[in-house]
Each structure stands twice: as structure tokens, then as C-alpha cells.
């Protein structure tokens, strides 16, 4: 069916449908689902297993390996990585292949596997636990601080706020961070226990028997039944202090407070503290938002509720929105909206300049209509507005107008040549519908590998392919239905004579092109030689272009990994963080900083989709710094790096910008794997040293960290048996003495506060007191000194042991202040080759980081490129019924490098994944122009023209449309290049510069190749 004919015959229906779609699109725009970034399926889960006190090497042997083996049995698992065996804990990260999307079923299978492995783990193992909510993203972080109030009081307020937030439409989950748990500590000393003849076990048993919640039965009185509930549970700390303890050596009794110090306090050492702007805080993290909710509408509801809480809380409390994704979404949406307007005006100006006001406005209506209809289809398909889709709309502006330009120009040309308006519109539709559809589909096919790439980067950018397909197909439909209809209604040009038609081609622009084309057709070998030379030079230039897989973000935030050496306790880490935050919050020292959030002992919630929070550890912290604007990032980062180096020599800082895409930019990793722990650790130390020797290297870090000292208690079993103590009693006595042992719970309203038995501070914080620890014998009902049954020794050992895919693996990472990842790898390679030249058998090393991620993404993209090229060839063979014409087109595709290479070098843009996408889209555009040009040549021949005249005439008639589409595409990308858009700058450079050269190739090289393939004689002259 001829779409143009249908449109003219049913004009009222067509315009009604267009109006309805326009109204629907405008209505959707007011509340369109939006996010900061494209949604990526998080295919990672964390499996955590605990065995308190077990050393890292034993955790690795007895727990980690067994769990790994069961995980590896799952066919969906691609990688088992960052497998950490530390004191008392095993943490395993599981990565599923990117081709899987039904994660719920896979995580269910993983839990079943963990149920299977559990019976084979050592007795006393806690877990394994599967955390499959690892990928939940916080869209709002609310900070609660309170000057003059306790953490317990803050916790109660935070829980009330949490319950209240759940009533806000759109919230699915609210997490609390920074809450410090309470404990009731019973602190005892060996001397006092010896004085009363008591053991820790006797104290614990007395308290457990006293603190009960047990039924007393019921009394049936006949009419009613009465429940009997005996009292006995602790109702206050004073109740615990006043517990009566019977002394075993006499008939006397004593109060517990006379034997032990009873105090209510927070967990010590502290765990996972949070500071907001340097003050202790509780963070409420809105970790999930229901699908389809517009974050720009959602966040104001949260802010309003925050204001309500601030107004009703006592003086001293402060509630702040510490982070909200809507800020970055609004900046992105507003920026793109301005770019869209600028691009639309630019495109309209170019079209009006070339085609005149009336024709320009006819073509210009296609642009907003296509955008509006695209929004309708995006909503239908569940696509959201975010960084990728918004920028794609800008990119598509320069592409979608091509169909309208070609159609309007053809209709106008036919009218000028004397065809009736209706016939001109219908015939133009008949002539151009197929070649425009073919060219549209080829452009779409250039992006299809991106949509189908089985890789997280492909998934991150896949919406680009979908939006391009929607906009181009919509523009093709509108160009075939609305543009001819508008031309029929509003274009009423006076038919020109043959002399007047030819006079159009006498303009200076055409004269220059005619001379160039004549020279090319008469000097074909020379033209091919020049093109070959330019191609060789461009390939050479590409070797000079710097490489970067994905660009850095222009976000006004940066992050600090603030770590102290392994072996430092959480108190030391907390004190270091507080000292650093005092400086960071100083307005005079850091005028750019507007707010900070510090997570001590862990990495906090995930607030950025492709950023994975850090696993808990006592010696780590994570600081999120927000500055006044993106330009303030670098001076603040440099000053922070210098201050830490001068004032915190014990700290290992890693200061990083945020990145765009699925993986961190600029990061290099060297992974060393093998069965010999000592060997791979030794090699990793050498790699660290080699990296530090390269000037400008920052953030060098090894995941095994430094060696630590550990005290081993070697139990002499014969001596222990003679003393009547077991290994379990020795371990429990030591744990209770130093860390504290839970013996019962103190219940207060809805809280259950553990009661912990431990030594007094002076005894448990001194290593010398270890020798005087009393071990209670349940057999003999007496205590014996630890040194009577065990010997003590100190050894240096690994703080944590990492594995990857079942092998011990040390990963060393680093970044550079001015070198890109590939350049830093090149600088490190000579030293690395020397370090690794004598690797033992079964040991190996490999690159990770950006280079690995880049290779994976490019390989995934390349999988479907042959399929798409094959589809393009089939389309062109179907249209032309020829093999030669598709061959001509495909010969010109690699030559786009002639413009793109100098463009990348001149602008300083990086060659990376986005530049590769630029080359793919550029290939589609060049194919479009070539298809329409070759189709025009064939139409001239079919009309009776001689081959040489047909080539010459077709090139002249296509000259202005090709030039217009080139200009509209290039100018449509200007807003992404000036100022440089961090995500799409390189892509815009490749398309703009490549298209500028590609247009010349289309208008000169295609006719030259056609004349050579079809043996068109150059001596034939074109009509004047």
C-alpha cells in the first residue's frame, strides 16, 4: 500500500491521528518516568558466612572452598570474584552471565545450593547467607543529626521516620544506616571473681535463670479461663544490678553490682558509624522506588515530609536531605531540553536556508512531531527518561530530519518541473518510500549490535538503539504521510521551464561541485589513489588518539576510600575519620565543599547504580563529598590528596571521581593467581612498588592488604584433660574475657538489648593480661590459669585472603593523575614483564580493570555486527537486485576514518566505546546517502538517460539534500560538543567530522566507483 496515497485520500483521518498522538505525548511529558541513569540488571549477589574468631587461612580451607565448589556447580555463574576470607568471615561475590535476566529464580537456586552445603561446614558456622538485594539503589538519603541527644533517642526518632516514610507513595524500602546498637555490659575482674570464689559461668547461669519469660499455665474457673504469667524478666538495669548471687564457698550472698560493674552503653568497639557534615548521624536510605514513578515528582514528596519532621522535632534535631537523585535527573532533563530547543532551531534554520521558509516549516514540523510520538512509544515500551535516552533524542534530531528533507525536496522539485501537486506528492512517495525505508533500516541496524550485546555495557546503552529505532521509523512514516500532505496543501510553486531548471545548477555552489565531479570522473585512478593515501594517513593518526573506555562523570561529587592499615581496630578508624572530617568541614580550608557523608567501617548504601558499596571491615571508611559545582571537583580532590599525604601518613587514601557507564574509568588492575599464597603476595608487593615508581600514580592498593600479627593459643590437650577443661571452655573463656559473651537479653518496649559479660577495660585491653585469664572447668567447678593448659605464641599472617574462580588471587589496582588506563598499563608493562618472567607452574597473571571491561564490551558488541552487516546486505540486494551496488556502498564505509581520525585528534576526544558507537552510526548514515544516490542514478537510467548523464544528473539533484542532511546532522550534534557532553562528546566528534568527510566521499567516490563497476565511459558529456 502506498502510504502517501493513503494519506492524501484520508487526510482528515491522518491529521486526527497525528493530533491525538501529539496530545498524548504532550500529556505524558508532564509526568514521564525519569531516572538519573539507565537501569542495569545487577547480576551480582553476596554470600556471607561467619565463624567468629576463625583465622583467615582456616576460613579459606574449611568454609570458603566448600561454598565456592557448590556455587561453581551453577551453570549460570560466570565469575566467583572478590572471594574474601578474613578473621571470622567468608564473603563471596557471585557474578551471573549477562545473558540472564530472570534473577529471582537464579538467586533461589543459589539459596538452595547454600542449604546443601550447610551440613558440611564446621559446627558453629553461621550461614551462609545470600544477599540478592545488593543492587538496590537509594534515590534519596535523609540525614538525621541531634545535638544534645543520645543515639538511642535518635534511633527511636529514625524508626518513627522510617515508618512514616513508608506511607509516601512510591517508596518500597527504607533502610537505616549508622544506628549504634545498645548493650548492657557486665564487666568483671579476675581479682574480684577470685575474691568471691565465683566463675564467669556461674554468673551467667544465675542471670539466665533469673531473666525469664515463661508461661505459668492457666486456671479454669468454670466461667472464665485465667492465664497465669510469672514475673522474672529484667525491667530495668537496676534489676540486673540487684540480682542476688549465691557465693559457692559459703552460705552468703552478694548483689551483682558488688561483683561486677553493670552499665548500659553502645556497642564497643563501634560498628558502622555514619557522620553527616562531621556530626554523628543516622541515614534513612530510600533504597527502592516503584517502577514507573517519576523521581522528579517523587522527591518533592520526600522533601515535604522531611520539612514536616523538622518542624515537629525538638530543638537540637536536624533533618536534611543529604542526597537526592532528582537533582541530577533535573539537571540532565533541563540541559537536554535546552539542547533539544537549540538543535531544533538550528535544524529549522538550515532547512529554511536551503529550501525556503514554507518548505522549511513543512520539514520542520516533522521534528517535534517525531519527538512527541517517540515519547508515546517510549512510554508504551516502558522506557524512561535518563542520561542515555535524552542524549539519544538529541542525536536522533539530526538523523530523523533526513527523511523529511529528502521527501519535501523531491515533491518540490517535481512541482517545479511541472507535475500536478497531487501527482508530485504521490509520485515522490512511490519513488522514495523504498529507498528511504532501506536507508532508515540500515541506520537502525548499525545500532542493533548495541541492543543485542550480551554485556552490561551493552545493556546500559541498549535504550539508545531502541530510541533510535523508534525515532527513525516514526520519521519515515511521517515523511511518507504528513510531509507530502503538507506539501500538497501548502506548496504552490510555479512550474519552471527547462532553462530555469538548468539555471538552478549554475549557482556557485553547484558550479564548484560540477567541476569537482567532472575531474573525479575523468581521473578515477587519481581519485582512488588520493583516497587510499588519506586512508593510510588516517589509520596512522588513529594510533595517536588517546584511548578511554568510558568517560568520567561531570557530577559535583567525589568519593574517598579512607583506610588505615589492616590490624587497626574500629576505634582507631573512627578517630582517624573524625580528625579528617574536622579538616574537610573547615570552610576556610575547603571552600568548595558543601556537604559530606562518611561511613566508618563499611561503604554505606548503594546510591549510584554502577557503584558497589564496600564490604564491612574495621579498618575502612568511605566518604562522599559534594562540592559547589563540577568545576570544584579537581581542586578539592588535589588538596585532599595532599593533606592526607602530609597529615595522615598511616592512611591509604583512594580519591576518585564518579564515572559514566557500567565500570570505573581509568582503573588498572593486575591480578596474580596461583596456589602458593606467599608467592603471589610477594609478586603483588613488587607490582605495588613498580606502580609507585611511576610518577603520577595514585590510589595503589592491594586487596590482601598488609600482614598482621595474631596471637595463637596452643592448647596442650594432655594438660587440659588433667585440669578438666575442654577446648570449647578455653575458647569461650577467652572470647568472654576480651570480646564479651552474650548471656541473656534485657527487653525494653520493642527492643531486645543483649547483656554481655566481659573483662573490665584495663584487663581486656592489655595483652599481658592474656596470661592471667582464668578458664572455668565445668567438671571440677573451678577455674585454672590459661598458661596451665596452653602455650602462647605470636605469628604474622595474612589479614584477608581473596580468591577468584576457585584460585587464590591478589588484585593490585591503581589510577593515574594524567595517564589513561591503557597508557598506565603501557608504562607498567616493562617492569611487570620482569616481575612475572619466572612464574612457577599453575601461577598466572592477567589485566583487569578498564582494559578487561573494554575488551568484554567490544567483544560483546562484535558478536552481532556480522549479523547486522548481513541484514544490511540483504536489504540492499533486495532493493537494487544487484551485488555491485552494495559492494560500492560497503567500500565507502571504512573511509569514514578519513574524517573521524583527524577530528578525534584535533578535539582531544578519546577513542573508546562511545567513539565505536559513533563509527557504527556514521556507517549507517553514509549508507543512507549512498543508497538514495544510487537509487537516483537508476531512476535517471530508467528514464532514458545515458549512463554518464545519469550519474552526473543524479549527483547534481542529490547534492543539496545530501548537503542539507549533513549540515543538520552535524549542527544537531553541536550541543553535545559545545560544551563537551562527557558521555557523548567522542561520539559526536566521530559522527560530525566523519560525516563531513563522508559526504564528500558519497558525492565523489560513489559516482567514481559506480562508473568503474558499470564501465561508464568518461568521454560522454552531460547535457548543459
DSSP conformation class of 643: H
Q: Are 271 and 739 in contact (CB under 8 A)?
A: no
Superfamily for domain range 506-544+864-1024? Multidrug efflux transporter AcrB transmembrane domain (1.20.1640.10)
Angle at 306 between CA 304 and CA 309, to 5 degrees: 115
Rounded CA Rg of the chain: 37
What integer pLDDT is reported at residue 1022 of this predicted model?
44
What do you get for the CA distance between the two ends of the chain, in Å?
Answer: 38
What integer pLDDT is reported at residue 275 of this predicted model?
95
pTM for this structure? 0.82
β strands within 760-819, DSSP E:
774-777, 782-785, 790-798, 800-804, 807-816
How far apart (Å, rounded) are the C-alpha atoms in residues 704 and 688? Answer: 12
pLDDT per residue as tens digits for the range 255-304: 888 888 888 888 877 788 999 999 999 999 987 665 666 777 778 888 89
What integer pLDDT is reported at residue 111 of this predicted model?
92
What integer pLDDT is reported at residue 128 of this predicted model?
93
Q: Are 127 and 50 in contact (CB under 8 A)?
A: yes
Residue found by looking up cell 568454609 in the block: 63
Task: Evaluate whether the domain defined by 1-30+356-504 bears CATH number 3.20.20.70.
Answer: no
What integer pLDDT is reported at residue 273 of this predicted model?
92
| Common-topology check for domains 1-30+356-504 and 44-131 | no
Superfamily for domain range 44-131? Multidrug efflux transporter AcrB pore domain (3.30.70.1430)
Segment (H or E) for 376: helix 366-380
pLDDT per residue as tens digits for the range 887-925: 998 888 888 899 899 999 999 999 988 888 788 778 878
Output the CATH code of domain 183-266+708-798: 3.30.2090.10
- Cell numbers found for residue 763: 584487663
What integer pLDDT is reported at residue 1023 of this predicted model?
41
pLDDT per residue as tens digits for the range 464-522: 889 999 999 999 999 999 999 988 898 877 766 667 666 666 788 888 888 899 999 99
Q: Measure Cα distances from 394 to 34, 338, 558, 988 in Å.
A: 17, 10, 28, 10
Q: Specify the 3-state DSSP secondary structure of 625.
A: strand
- Mean pLDDT by groups of 10 residues along the chain of 1024 residues: 84 90 83 74 89 86 92 91 88 88 89 92 90 81 91 90 89 88 83 75 78 62 62 76 78 82 83 91 81 73 90 92 83 72 78 82 84 88 82 76 83 85 89 87 85 78 87 92 90 70 74 89 91 92 88 88 90 93 94 94 85 86 93 93 93 90 85 94 94 94 90 86 83 78 80 83 73 77 82 87 90 93 93 91 92 85 86 88 90 87 92 84 81 86 88 87 83 80 85 88 89 79 42
How far apart (Å, rounded) are the C-alpha atoms in residues 531 and 835? Answer: 46
Residue 718, burial from CB neighbour count under 10 angstroms (0-12, 13-18, 19+)? exposed
β strands within 497-578, DSSP E:
557-563
Q: Measure Cα distances from 818 to 544, 630, 821 in Å.
A: 16, 18, 10
Residue found by looking up cell 557448590 in the block: 70
As separate numbers, helices (DSSP H) first and strands (DSSP E) second, the chain gives 35, 31
List alpha helices for 788-912, DSSP H.
Answer: 821-835, 849-863, 865-880, 884-892, 897-907
Domain range list for the chain: 1-30+356-504, 44-131, 183-266+708-798, 506-544+864-1024
Amino acid at each position: 500500500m502506498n502510504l502517501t496515497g493513503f494519506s492524501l485520500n484520508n487526510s482528515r483521518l491522518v491529521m486526527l491521528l497525528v493530533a491525538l498522538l501529539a496530545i498524548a505525548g504532550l500529556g505524558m511529558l508532564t509526568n514521564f518516568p525519569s531516572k538519573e541513569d539507565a537501569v542495569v540488571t545487577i547480576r551480582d549477589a553476596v554470600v556471607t558466612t561467619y565463624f567468629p574468631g576463625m583465622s583467615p587461612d582456616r576460613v579459606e580451607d574449611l568454609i570458603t572452598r566448600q561454598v565456592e565448589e557448590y556455587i561453581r556447580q551453577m551453570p549460570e555463574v560466570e565469575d566467583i570474584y572478590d572471594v574474601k576470607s578474613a578473621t571470622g568471615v567468608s564473603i563471596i561475590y557471585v557474578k551471573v552471565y549477562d545473558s540472564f535476566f530472570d534473577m529471582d529464580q537464579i538467586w533461589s537456586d543459589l539459596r538452595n545450593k547454600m542449604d546443601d552445603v550447610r551440613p558440611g561446614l564446621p559446627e558453629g558456622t553461621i550461614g551462609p547467607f545470600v544477599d540478592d538485594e545488593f543492587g538496590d539503589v537509594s534515590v534519596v538519603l535523609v540525614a538525621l543529626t541531634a545535638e544534645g541527644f543520645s543515639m538511642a533517642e535518635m534511633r527511636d526518632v529514625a524508626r518513627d521516620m522510617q515508618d512514616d516514610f513508608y506511607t509516601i507513595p512510591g517508596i518500597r524500602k527504607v533502610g537505616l544506616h549508622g544506628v549504634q546498637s545498645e548493650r548492657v555490659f557486665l564487666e568483671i575482674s579476675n581479682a574480684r571473681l577470685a575474691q568471691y570464689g565465683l566463675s564467669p559461668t556461674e554468673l551467667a547461669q544465675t542471670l539466665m535463670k533469673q531473666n525469664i519469660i515463661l508461661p505459668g499455665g492457666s486456671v479454669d474457673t468454670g466461667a472464665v479461663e485465667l492465664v497465669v504469667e510469672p514475673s522474672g524478666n529484667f525491667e530495668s538495669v537496676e534489676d540486673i544490678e540487684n540480682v542476688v548471687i549465691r557465693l559457692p564457698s559459703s552460705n552468703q550472698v552478694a548483689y551483682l553490682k558488688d561483683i561486677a560493674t553493670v552499665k548500659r552503653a553502645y556497642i564497643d568497639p563501634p560498628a558502622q558509624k555514619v557522620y553527616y557534615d562531621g556530626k554523628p548521624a543516622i541515614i534513612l536510605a530510600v533504597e527502592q522506588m516503584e517502577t514507573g514513578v517519576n523521581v522528579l515528582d517523587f522527591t518533592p514528596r520526600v522533601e515535604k515530609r522531611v520539612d514536616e519532621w523538622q518542624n515537629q522535632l525538638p530543638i537540637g534535631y536536624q533533618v536534611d536531605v543529604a542526597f537526592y537523585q532528582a537533582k541530577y535527573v533535573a539537571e540532565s532533563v533541563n540541559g537536554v531540553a535546552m539542547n533539544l530547543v537549540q538543535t531544533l532551531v538550528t535544524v529549522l534554520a538550515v532547512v529554511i536556508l536551503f529550501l525556503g521558509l514554507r518548505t522549511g516549516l513543512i520539514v520542520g514540523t516533522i521534528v517535534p512531531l517525531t519527538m512527541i510520538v517517540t515519547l508515546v512509544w517510549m512510554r508504551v515500551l516502558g522506557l524512561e527518561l535518563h542520561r542515555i535516552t535524552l542524549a539519544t533524542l538529541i542525536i536522533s534530531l539530526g538523523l530523523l530530519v533526513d527523511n523529511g528533507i529528502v521527501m519535501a525536496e523531491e515533491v518540490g522539485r517535481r512541482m517545479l518541473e511541472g507535475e500536478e501537486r497531487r501527482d508530485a506528492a504521490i509520485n515522490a512517495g512511490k519513488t522514495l518510500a523504498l529507498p528511504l525505508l532501506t536507508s532508515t533500516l540500515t541506520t537502525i541496524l548499525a545500532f542493533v549490535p548495541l541492543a543485542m550485546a550480551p554485556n552490561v555495557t551493552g545493556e546500559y546503552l541498549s535504550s539508545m538503539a531502541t530510541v533510535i529505532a523508534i525515532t527513525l521509523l516514526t520519521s519515515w512514516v511521517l515523511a511518507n504521510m504528513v510531509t507530502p500532505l503538507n506539501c500538497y496543501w501548502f506548496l504552490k510553486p510555479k512550474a519552471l521551464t527547462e532553462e530555469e531548471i538548468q539555471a538552478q545548477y549554475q549557482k556557485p555552489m553547484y558550479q564548484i561541485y560540477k567541476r569537482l565531479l567532472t575531474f573525479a570522473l575523468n581521473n578515477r585512478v587519481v581519485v582512488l589513489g588520493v583516497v587510499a593515501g588519506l586512508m593510510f594517513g588516517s589509520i596512522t593518526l588513529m594510533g595517536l588518539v588517546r584511548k578511554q573506555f568510558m568517560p568520567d562523570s561531570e557530577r559535583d561529587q567525589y568519593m574517598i576510600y579512607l583506610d588505615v592499615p589492616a590490624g587497626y581496630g574500629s576505634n582507631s578508624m573512627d578517630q582517624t575519620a573524625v580528625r579528617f572530617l574536622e579538616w574537610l568541614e573547615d570552610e576556610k580550608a575547603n571552600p568548595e565543599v558543601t556537604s559530606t557523608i562518611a561511613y566508618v567501617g563499611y561503604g554505606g548504601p548503594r546510591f549510584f547504580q554502577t557503584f558497589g558499596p564496600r564490604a564491612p571491615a574495621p579498618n575502612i571508611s568511605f566518604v562522599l563529598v559534594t562540592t559547589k559545582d563540577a568545576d570544584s571537583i579537581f581542586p578539592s580532590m588535589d588538596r585532599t590528596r595532599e593533606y592526607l599525604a602530609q597529615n595522615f601518613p598511616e592512611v591509604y587514601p583512594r580519591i576518585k571521581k564518579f564515572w559514566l557507564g557500567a565500570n570505573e574509568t581509568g582503573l588498572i588492575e593486575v591480578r596474580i593467581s596461583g596456589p602458593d599464597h606467599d608467592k603471589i603476595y610477594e609478586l603483588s608487593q613488587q607490582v605495588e612498588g613498580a606502580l609507585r615508581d611511576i610518577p603520577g600514580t595514585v590510589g595503589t592498593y592491594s586487596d590482601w592488604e598488609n600482614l598482621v600479627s595474631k596471637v595463637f593459643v596452643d592448647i596442650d590437650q594432655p594438660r587440659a584433660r588433667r585440669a578438666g577443661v575442654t577446648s570449647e571452655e578455653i575458647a569461650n573463656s577467652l572470647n568472654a574475657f576480651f570480646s564479651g559473651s552474650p548471656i541473656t537479653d534485657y527487653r525494653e518496649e520493642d527492643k531486645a538489648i543483649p547483656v554481655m559479660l566481659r573483662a573490665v577495660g584495663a584487663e581486656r585491653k592489655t595483652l599481658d593480661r592474656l596470661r592471667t585469664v582464668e578458664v572455668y572447668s565445668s567438671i571440677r567447678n573451678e577455674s585454672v590459669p590459661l598458661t596451665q593448659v596452653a602455650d602462647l605464641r605470636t605469628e604474622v599472617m595474612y589479614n584477608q585472603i581473596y580468591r577468584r574462580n576457585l584460585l587464590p588471587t591478589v588484585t593490585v589496582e591503581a589510577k593515574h593523575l594524567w595517564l589513561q588506563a591503557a597508557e598506565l598499563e603501557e608504562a607498567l608493562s616493562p617492569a611487570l614483564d620482569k616481575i612475572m618472567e619466572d612464574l612457577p607452574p599453575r601461577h598466572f597473571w592477567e589485566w583487569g580493570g578498564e582494559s578487561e571491561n573494554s575488551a568484554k564490551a567490544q567483544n560483546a558488541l562484535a558478536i552481532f555486527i556480522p549479523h547486522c552487516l548481513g541484514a544490511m546486505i540483504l536489504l540492499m540486494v533486495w532493493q537494487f537486485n544487484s551485488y555491485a551496488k552494495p559492494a560500492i556502498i560497503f567500500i565507502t564505509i571504512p573511509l569514514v576514518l578519513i574524517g573521524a581520525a583527524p577530528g578525534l585528534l584535533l578535539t582531544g576526544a578519546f577513542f573508546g566505546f562511545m567513539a565505536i558507537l559513533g563509527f557504527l552510526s556514521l556507517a549507517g548514515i553514509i549508507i543512507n546517502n549512498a543508497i538514495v544516490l544510487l537509487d537516483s542514478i537508476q531512476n535517471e537510467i530508467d528514464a532514458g538517460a545515458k549512463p554518464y548523464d545519469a550519474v552526473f544528473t543524479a549527483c547534481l539533484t542529490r547534492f543539496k539534500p545530501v548537503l542539507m542532511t549533513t549540515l543538520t546532522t552535524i549542527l544537531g550534534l553541536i550541543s553535545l560538543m559545545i560544551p563537551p557532553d562527557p558521555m557523548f562528546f567522542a561520539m559526536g566528534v566521530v559522527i560530525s567530522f566523519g560525516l563531513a568527510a563522508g559526504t564528500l566521499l558519497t558525492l565523489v567516490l560513489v559516482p567514481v566507483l559506480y562508473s568503474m563497476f558499470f564501465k561508464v565511459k568518461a568521454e560522454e558529456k552531460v547535457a548543459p
